[in-house]
Amino acid sequence: MSEPFDDGSEGLPCVLSEDVTAFMTDPALPPWAMGPVVAAMVEIGETRGLVAGSTVAEDWPECRLLPLGEDGALGIIEYVIAKDAAPPQVIVTRVLLY
């Protein structure tokens, strides 16, 4: 798993956008995708969004992309770290499968 957030804090809730909720509950979602996507979401929450291997948007550092599967072979997850929100959370905004 990834390195924990280094300030001793617990993880953050991982909240799904409406689009991602619809994606995850779509019966057409391939069965092979559920496990890796949920595992990535758990890791995102546990690490407060600072997952090893995620990339940061240059102009918006709270927005990150996380490759799914080995070298991103399965797709990507886009999320936003909303640490100043009440309550602080990580919002998964998009899941793109290849």
pLDDT at 9: 67
Residue 33 CA to residue 12 CA, distance in Å, equals: 23
pLDDT at 3: 41
- Its pTM stands at 0.85
Q: What is the mean pLDDT of the chain?
A: 90
Q: Distance of CA 74 to CAs 12, 22, 37, 57, 94, Å?
A: 25, 19, 9, 21, 14
pLDDT in tens, 23-54: 999 999 999 999 999 999 999 999 999 999 99
